[in-house]
Chains A and B, each alone.
Chain A
Amino acid sequence: MSRSMPMPKAFLQGFRASFVHAPWVLFKWLINVAISALCLLPIYQLLRRDLEHGVVQVREEGGLSFAYFVDFLFAYSRELSILDLAWMTLLGLFALGNLVTTAGFLSALERGRQAPFGDVLAAGVFRAIPLGLLAAIIGSVLFYGYPFIASAFPWIDWPYADGPWQYGFGLGLALLGICLASLIYDYARIFLFRTWTFEQDIPGPVRPLWWLVKPLLALTHAFVFIATHPLKAPALWSIFALLSAALVMASQRLLDTGIGWGIVQVLILARIATSTSALGAQRALTLPVADAAPEAAPTKEPTGAKPAESATTGDPLTE
């Protein structure tokens, strides 16, 4: 296996990627804000109706008052039930929007900043399908498989546990899942597609068989990378996750102090940028340095898509 990029450089590349492809980060944030706001508006109206002239203890030490919300939920249960359907739709839009923008960001990484937005968006939409599928598979394995793993190892506890070790372990497990998902994805999309150009020559009728084999190869490749670089990928994701958690906590604390929604949204934007940076950094980390030179870039997209234009940028992240 080729030598991989040093960690500090990979981090910098990751952050740089978020700036270089800022439109995608902003796009993702806008979708988040818009859908959250749509969800919130009816709630705000009900809260206003309830609280405008009422005097109840809505806040108490440690957060919102559950006692009040018990009343609120039951007093407006009919209205809230009616909103169920709308919220389900919004939930779908939120998930889809995030998926497409994440996939768009990844496509932008490949194609470079010069690539037409429409092309990148189209590539992102197509990319979102396998990405979503992969996320669903990995998520299901973790979600449904974790109890059985923990059943065999009772000392494992749930990430939401209060003890710091339990919390850390749970978080670590979740991060490992993210690492694996993104690594597999990267290997599948970048290396396998590009390295084994013979894929292009596989006859159409036989190609579905290759699609069955390819994910297994990607999985193997990802495990090999983790085995040969046991700390790199988890460390990278941990650092970004900690940064993200700090931003979440900061935004919640600031909101509790009465600071404006706009400032909180800036922090949320920063958090979204953190997660896209993580994707960029992983791309830089896992991209072998030897392969990172412009001359090693593929000459054509395996799916027959438009050839990457990033060769002119000289940026490994845009390869």
Chain B
Amino acid sequence: MLLRHREPTETGRPGTTRPEPGRRMFPKSVVPLLLLLALIPTGCSEWFTSTPPADQASDTTQPESTTPAPMVPPVAESGDLSESSADPVVQYDIQVQLDPDAKSLHGHQTLIYTNHSPDIIEELQFHLYMNAFKDQHSIYARETRQIFGVGLPSYGSIALDDVAVNGRQALSRITYPHQNQEGTGDETVATLPLDQPLFPGEQVSVFFDFTVKLPENTGRSGYIDDFFFIAQWFPKIGVWEPAGHRGRQESGWNCHPHHALSEFYADFGRYRITMTLPSEYVVGATGIKAAEQLSEDGTQKTLTYIQDRVHDFAWTAWPGFEVVERVFSLDEADYREAEERFGLSHEQAQLPPTRMILLIRPEHRDQTDRHFQALREGIKWFGWKLGPYPYESMTMVDPPREATGLEMMEYPTLVSLSTHWWQPEGYRDLEDLILHEFAHQYFQSMIATNEFEDPWLDEGFVTYTCLRALDVAYGRQHYYRVIKQAPVPLTRLMGFAAFPPVEQARYSFLPGKRVDPIHLPAWGFNSGDSYYGNVYEGAALTLFQLERELGEPVMDEVLRTYFERWSFKHPGIDAFRAIVNEVSGRDMNWFFDALIFSHGFIDYAVMPVRSLEPSEIEISTESDDEIREETEPEFDSFEAHLIEVRNLGTQAYPVTIEVRFTDGEVVRRDWDGTGSWHRFRLQHPHAVESVSVDPENKLILDFHRANNTWRAKPDQVTPRAVSLTLSTRLQHLLQILSGAF
């Protein structure tokens, strides 16, 4: 899902809107006069209490993933799980009927599950996601209350009317492991003991007859009026993980209850979905439409969609959609771009055609090209940087404006957007959204990490790659602040230059409280702010930091290798870390320890240089612990300069310190960044001109980069010039606001 720093630009129904996480970083009080300072975050609300997260208390199946797990070989290499399309783990065949009046679904599902593990499986576990909306006792509802301060605004559920295993009745054997002793509580996971154990290589067929009552405009799945966005709607089997898989100690099911902030982890498989609904409905779905049939009286239609090698299936239906379809293919300009900007030959740049389908609201018709252009840019960037998009189609859905609880979500080959009629050309919110959701096709849909346990491997990679793609496709941009539905280019009005997208991520992440590390399960964060900040922009910035550490070509190779090795599989952090070490040829474990597994922030600062008189040198000879003295023998008789760099932050990162003297000589020293300060003495015949920590400006996570340098000669001109520029802009703006033009 895309949870960004954006405010809704169209009105949603009160009470049905999922609280807009984009507001989390923005101030509770905003400097009203100086519009520039409307950007200042002054605090983050505490959404979570200190109560242990519900899942931690109740979920006994999850592996402990908050600490670094030992490196394991990829499962495919160890033969643990096969995700090949020829012999998928799961095969779903579902016939479903939509009743628009009752806002319900009735389905018949046949699931064939193949045990590809070396283990003997004695029970099956299933997700019944829709029960998250059954009552206020579900884990989803409890977490929603904790995070957003409100309970469920509407209700929904999934009822199992019949269950059979290999043709034998099994409904009575269903239990709910997350229910409490009173039989209430969460019913989003069901356990089904098997009559006979499932041996390696064996298959089991499970039949479900189920009824879904859809919730209204909440939880990323449901309805509003006659619009339906239907996701996480059928009984979906969990993932059997053998010991060793993603650092797991013992084999078992990985089948988490539906959490407020995470929901994805499933095996790849083959889906065949046949849906029947009134004929006036326009449908979009995961995969390719294989058949369409109208009922005899013409009032109902039956559609069949199929898709191989996906781990989920979602669909949407609304009579109001207009359908536009185009085919992605490369032209000569694209090949030139591939060569000039990506260094790819004509042969290397080849990408397969993709059917791009847009279900758009009629009033957004004039923005059709923008949608396709953005998707095109995504297919190119990800295709050239990671690997070709393998599916035949990609569908974008533009939900009705009231559907604020059903937008901005990603599913295999299908994404929901949030398009607004008020979309100036320079406001790249739409493009950002399309690229973000398309990036999920790679990081989540193909590289199928566990969103429950490793959310940053999903959203963090998506945010990072999306920002890079956005930069390549659209270049620098301005910050638009949405004021009363109007995106205002605030930075441009205040006289700022356009900036690369990564600065937007810094702006979003840096002011947040650093109380959690990036690597935590979704329910393990201290607050909603902490979750969003770390999992999205925090992880993205850390990957940008990794890119600066390794260099862009090496980072690109890391991404490519990660995709080639782990697409259609379920990697954990160790898989990625191993690839970083392997491709870079360096031991980068320290990087993960410093920035992924630890929390805090980075801020190095140079202190004013003290030049010591010869008489002081004796006095200043403190213990070695305090002063690491650098003596240049040839300058023994010269002035001594005391250089001090402080670590004002809480995290450590190796840095370089550069000292420039007035005669042009430059001296560099490395510091591992640990401790709260580092001091050394240089003897030199000339005065110090400047001292810089991180002189190459590599440390993108440094909280305050202006204090990274100290120069001897103060600069009075720049602050004055900047102040006057701001002042004049301010006068102009206030003049307009006060009614004069």
In angstroms, how far is the closest chain B Cβ from the Cβ of A8?
21
In angstroms, how far is the closest chain A Cβ from the Cβ of B444?
29
CA A48 to CA B714, docked complex, whole Å: 9
Contact yes or no, A161 B34, CB < 8 A: no
Q: Is A126 an interface residue (CB 8 A)?
A: no
DSSP class of B's interface residues: helix, strand, loop or mixed?
mixed
- List A contacts of B723 (CB < 8 A): 40, 43-44, 47
CA A56 to CA B692, docked complex, whole Å: 11
Interface residues of A (CB under 8 A from B): 32-33, 35-37, 39-40, 43-44, 47-48, 50-56, 58-75, 77, 80-81, 83-84, 87-88, 90-91, 94-95, 98-99, 102, 135, 139, 143-144, 146-147, 150-151, 154-155, 157-158, 160-163, 166, 175, 178, 240-241, 244, 248, 251-252, 255-256, 258, 261, 264, 268, 271-272, 275, 278
CA A158 to CA B499, docked complex, whole Å: 22
13 contacts between A and B (CB under 8 A): A50-B706, A51-B706, A52-B716, A56-B709, A70-B39, A150-B422, A158-B487, A160-B487, A160-B489, A241-B741, A252-B495, A252-B728, A268-B735
- List A contacts of B690 (CB < 8 A): 55
Q: Which of B40, B737, B738 contacts A81 (CB 8 A)?
A: B40
Q: Which of B42, B423, B716, B738 contacts A94 (CB 8 A)?
A: B738
CA A65 to CA B506, docked complex, whole Å: 14
Most buried by A among B692, B724, B731: B731
Minimal Cβ-Cβ distance residue in B for A274: B741
Q: Which of B366, B608, B722 contacts A47 (CB 8 A)?
A: B722
- List A contacts of B738 (CB < 8 A): 94-95, 98-99
Interface residues of B (CB under 8 A from A): 27, 29-34, 36-37, 39-42, 363-366, 421-426, 479, 484-489, 491-499, 503, 506-507, 510-511, 608, 690, 692, 703-711, 714-716, 718-732, 734-735, 737-741
Contact yes or no, A154 B709, CB < 8 A: no
In angstroms, how far is the closest chain A Cβ from the Cβ of B39?
6
Q: Which of B425, B496, B692, B703 contacts A71 (CB 8 A)?
A: B703
Contact (A87, B33) CB under 8 Å given A32-B734, A51-B722, A95-B737? yes
Contact yes or no, B728 A255, CB < 8 A: yes
Contact (A72, B706) CB under 8 Å given A94-B738, A102-B740, A166-B424? yes
DSSP class of A's interface residues: helix, strand, loop or mixed?
helix
Q: Which A-B residue pairs are the 9 nearest by beta carbons?
A: A62-B497, A161-B424, A87-B33, A98-B738, A91-B33, A54-B706, A275-B740, A55-B709, A63-B497
Contact (A54, B707) CB under 8 Å given A64-B497, A83-B31, A268-B731? yes
A47-B719, A163-B425, A166-B424 provided; 7 other pairs, C-beta below 8 A? A37-B727, A39-B727, A47-B723, A67-B506, A87-B34, A91-B32, A102-B739
In angstroms, how far is the closest chain B Cβ from the Cβ of A274?
8
CA A238 to CA B496, docked complex, whole Å: 27
- List A contacts of B496 (CB < 8 A): 63-66, 69
Contact yes or no, A162 B426, CB < 8 A: yes
Q: Which of B39, B364, B488, B741 contacts A154 (CB 8 A)?
A: B364
Q: Which of B704, B705, B711, B729 contacts A252 (CB 8 A)?
A: B729
Contact yes or no, A98 B421, CB < 8 A: no
Contact yes or no, A264 B724, CB < 8 A: yes
Contact yes or no, B366 A244, CB < 8 A: no
Q: Which of A51, A73, A75 contacts B715 (CB 8 A)?
A: A51
Contact yes or no, A157 B424, CB < 8 A: yes
- List A contacts of B485 (CB < 8 A): 147
Minimal Cβ-Cβ distance residue in A for B478: A66
Contact yes or no, B499 A66, CB < 8 A: yes
- List A contacts of B494 (CB < 8 A): 64
Minimal Cβ-Cβ distance residue in A for B724: A261
Contact yes or no, B487 A55, CB < 8 A: no
- List B contacts of A65 (CB < 8 A): 496-497, 499
CA A150 to CA B422, docked complex, whole Å: 8
In angstroms, how far is the closest chain B Cβ from the Cβ of A46?
9
In angstroms, how far is the closest chain B Cβ from the Cβ of A28?
8
Most buried by A among B42, B728, B730: B728
CA A241 to CA B484, docked complex, whole Å: 25
- List B contacts of A251 (CB < 8 A): 728, 732
Contact (A70, B424) CB under 8 Å given A84-B31, A87-B33, A160-B487? no
Contact yes or no, A53 B608, CB < 8 A: yes
Contact yes or no, B735 A272, CB < 8 A: yes
Minimal Cβ-Cβ distance residue in B for A251: B728
Contact (A66, B491) CB under 8 Å given A32-B734, A75-B706? yes
Most buried by A among B365, B720, B740: B740
